[in-house]
């Protein structure tokens, strides 16, 4: 239960910190943090939580990461569903807290997006379904490749949170204009349910693509010489 609680609070922090920066601070008059600030915020949430709870739960904070680690032989099957449930629930609670904060400002309109992920007319840059699909699959694949490599027993010890946090920052720098960056079904669900309508209708992509990408990342790492074939 401590592991599941750690995943709950870790994902809560990721959504509150990452999506919160997008909703509350990205376009703040005159001193908005912009896309660069939002990208850094997502990376910082993972970096800080990896040091805070990595030794408790592994700090997955992401159903796709849990599935990718399972596919890579790093995570047991019996913990997969509870981890995913804790991550999604933590994200939804964080989305609720963010909604309560954001709705305190006059003129707030949740239908404007609320940091939801989307494609087509709901993509920040107007990118279509195929572009969004490719982006989310490839970005999540590379994320898992970095996670598996950085946490390999042969890698320099103690630096994995830095590599993983910076990788998530880079992923956001690349892909915010395309999909608003998901690579995390829990993060996508956490805000989509408050927007409803189009955000929920397009949510399927932000479950399917990250999971496919994560499994591909696990296979790629095994091919490159993961721990199982280190000899």
- At 29, the pLDDT band (50, 70, 90 cuts) reads low
198: CB partners within 8 A, 6+ apart: 118, 122
- At 230, the pLDDT band (50, 70, 90 cuts) reads very low
Q: How many CA atoms lie within 13 A of 204 on its CB side?
A: 5
The confidence score (pLDDT) of residue 156 equals 85
Q: Where are the alpha helices (DSSP H) in the chain?
A: 2-14, 20, 34-57, 63-71, 80-102, 129-150, 160-179, 185-195, 197-201, 205-225
Residue 73: CB atoms within 10 A of its CB come to 13
Residue 173 has pLDDT above 90, yes or no: yes
pLDDT > 90: percent of the chain: 81
The mean pLDDT of 158-163, rounded to a whole number, is 92
What does the domain layout of the chain look like in residue ranges? 1-223
The confidence score (pLDDT) of residue 31 equals 67
The mean pLDDT of 135-164, rounded to a whole number, is 93
Nearest CA among 114, 86, 107 for reference residue 4: 86
The length of the chain, given as a count of residues: 231
- At 182, the pLDDT band (50, 70, 90 cuts) reads very high
- At 227, the pLDDT band (50, 70, 90 cuts) reads low
The confidence score (pLDDT) of residue 32 equals 74
CA 159, chain centre distance (Å): 20
- At 27, the pLDDT band (50, 70, 90 cuts) reads confident
Residue 231 has pLDDT above 60, yes or no: no
The confidence score (pLDDT) of residue 229 equals 41
Tell the CATH superfamily of the 1-223 domain.
Answer: Glycerol uptake facilitator protein. (1.20.1080.10)
The mean pLDDT of 33-60, rounded to a whole number, is 93
The confidence score (pLDDT) of residue 226 equals 67
- At 157, the pLDDT band (50, 70, 90 cuts) reads confident
Please give the model's pTM, rounded to 2 decimal places: 0.91
The confidence score (pLDDT) of residue 106 equals 85
Residue 124 has pLDDT above 90, yes or no: yes
Q: What gap in Å lies between CA 68 and CA 74, rounded to an integer?
A: 9
């Amino acid at each position: 239960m401590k592991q599941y609680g750690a995943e709950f609070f870790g994902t809560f922090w990721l959504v509150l910190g990452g999506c919160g920066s997008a909703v509350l601070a990205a376009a703040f008059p005159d001193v908005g943090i912009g896309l660069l600030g939002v990208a850094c915020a997502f990376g910082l949430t993972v970096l800080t939580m990896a040091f805070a709870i990595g030794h408790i739960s592994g700090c997955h904070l992401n159903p796709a990461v849990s599935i990718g680690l399972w596919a890579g032989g790093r995570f047991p099957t019996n913990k997969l569903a509870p981890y995913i449930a804790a991550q999604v629930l933590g994200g939804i609670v964080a989305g609720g807290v963010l909604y309560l904060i954001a709705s305190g400002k006059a003129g707030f309109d949740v239908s404007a997006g609320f940091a939801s992920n989307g494609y087509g007319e709901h993509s920040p840059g107007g990118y279509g379904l195929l572009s969004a699909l490719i982006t989310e699959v490839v970005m999540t694949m590379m994320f898992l490749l970095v996670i598996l490599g950085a946490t390999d027993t042969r890698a320099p010890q103690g630096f994995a949170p830095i590599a993983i946090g910076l990788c998530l920052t880079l992923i956001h720098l690349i892909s915010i204009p395309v999909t608003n960056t998901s690579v995390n079904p829990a993060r996508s669900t956490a805000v989509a349910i408050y927007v409803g309508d189009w955000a929920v209708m397009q949510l399927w992509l932000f479950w399917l693509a990250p999971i496919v990408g994560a499994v591909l990342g696990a296979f790629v790492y095994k091919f490159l010489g993961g721990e199982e074939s280190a000899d």
